[in-house]
Structure 1
Amino acid sequence: MVRAARTAKSDKGERTGGTGKGAAAGKVAAAGRGAGTARPVRPRGAAGTAGRATPRPAAPSRGSGSGSGSRGGRGSGSGDGETRPGRWLPKRRTLLLVLALLVPLCGFGLWALYGSSWLRAENVSVGGTRVLSENDVTRAAAVPLGDPLISIDKGAVRERVRRALPRVRDVTVERSWPHDITLTVTERRPELVMESAGKYVEVDVDGVRFATVGKPPKGVPVLVLQGGSRPAREHFSDTRLRREAARVAAALPEPVRRATRVVRVRSYDDITLELTGKRTVGWGSSERAEAKATALTALMKAAEDATHFDVSAPSAPAASDS
């Protein structure tokens, strides 16, 4: 009986132990299903504390920079985009100092240019004249002496000279500090003269009549405009014909120019030269003037006894005795 009782207790204990082990195994399985992967159990205490992950540092608050500021407020450090008001003080002082120096300097400069007697027009010098005198140019320029040199209108002076003196082709006006105005004149040169009422009108290379003289300048041919056909006169004015003749005269070789007495124009493409020794040259128009001059020089050397030369077609020049 005693043996039967022990056997019964032993069976009961095994059932109880089996039930406990099953319950523990069930808890472990449930924990594994909930976490996905079973985590090892760490012991509590110092060893457990050392094994924990180090906490991340807190992010700095906005505007704090490298300094410490109150929550939500701007820090006292030098963050990006922040400028201290004190930094502008040296620049402002420098700017004010520069302005304080520039204002009186500019005022002094304006006074020296316009108000003082240091930089005023006192003298007029003239250069480049050939026929005109310096007094002629000075009177025509009418430079207001005593005025500030900077205020002299150079364009107005130039126009006064050209309007008063047709012989002047161009004039350059320059300020020569501190007191002078310099005028450099370019005079027109006569290429031809036209006889009119016993006097002679000088004509430049552009066909401009610019002066009347009592006798023709030495070595300058006389221009004769002959009445050509009516259509030719309608299409080409006297100004155009004078210009064509003057260009021909300007293109002549020097020996031929010295021997030319008359340039006779019947039309713009019918220009004839009358030379000494009763010689004549049929020039044609003013076009291809350089080629015609070269052909005429060679032709006159080749036919020294000829009295008429035709270079209107410079590629086929001709010479004859009549």
Structure 2
Amino acid sequence: MAPERKPSSVSQSISSSPFYFTLYIVLVVLGNVGNTTVITVVGESLLRETGVVRSSDVILVNMAFSNLLVSLVRNTVVMVSDLGVEIFLSRDMCHLMMGIWVWLRSANVWSTFFLSAFHFQTLRRVAPPVITLHGPRGPPNSLILGFVLVWSLNFIYAIPAFIFSKNGDENSTETLMLVSSTTRPLMGCIWDFPSAYSGLAFATSSMVIHESIPICLMNITNLGSLLTLYAHGHSRNAANKSQDAPVVTRIPAERRAAKVILALNILFISSWGTNVISVNYFNYNRGSSTEFLLIVARFANMSFIAFSPIVLAVGHRKLRAFIKSVLSGILSLFG
């Protein structure tokens, strides 16, 4: 490990403010505990229930898993750093960690979009994608292929991040910030592209491929889901009269699911937008508010991971039941 260096001014500002520091710890813990709960509760129901595998639950577990990995590998490390435990990695370890940060964050974005795309496809097909006892046990092959593509293609994209990084000097530079990975040098690791143009090309492609495109697709699929539900609602009376609409009874449930997914997308987009605005203001303005905006970017970058399990709990029956049982158990202890 390299000699100890001073933490960045952003880290000092958060550490010196009890409010910022407490809020940051709460968000990190909330993200870790919340996403672990989603994985445990939904995953346990998938393993326990025989004869049926809900693809939506498999996608929720994948999204929560990607959230948890980002929170553990990135946000928790930042929290430990803000506690005053400054660790500076060797060059080889920086290659590894920078690549992992880009890989996990990129896969996390596309895993979030996966949920919107799946719900839109479900509504278009009308029937829910369910595997029964008469079919193969497990999720559909198309779903497995989607997961493989999300994780493998993003790993390939992250290869330059594994290669073009190094351990730098104190606060080496924060002018090249990749939205899909980090808002400041962490553990002494910084980017080391052959030229400023190649670094800018990688940062720009990161913004387009892993931020702009999936967000546009999220908006399109959400709008398509809402329009499809609207069309189903108009045809509901006619379907009831003909008694030939197995999907009619699912319309209220699908509407609730659409609202939950829409809330997740709004949370993701607002988190992304706040982070991008703050970081780019820092990069190109450097006014008196830059330090505060970097703090805002730090919190915005983790708000989706922290609050998405709460949004999911509102719309997922098993998660609601688990949380109610935990709360009732806590209240009984103090009662």
Higher relative contact order (CA 8 A, sep 6+): 2
Q: Which has the higher strand share?
A: 1
* TM-score above 0.5: no
Q: Which has the higher helix share?
A: 2
TM-score (norm 1): 0.21
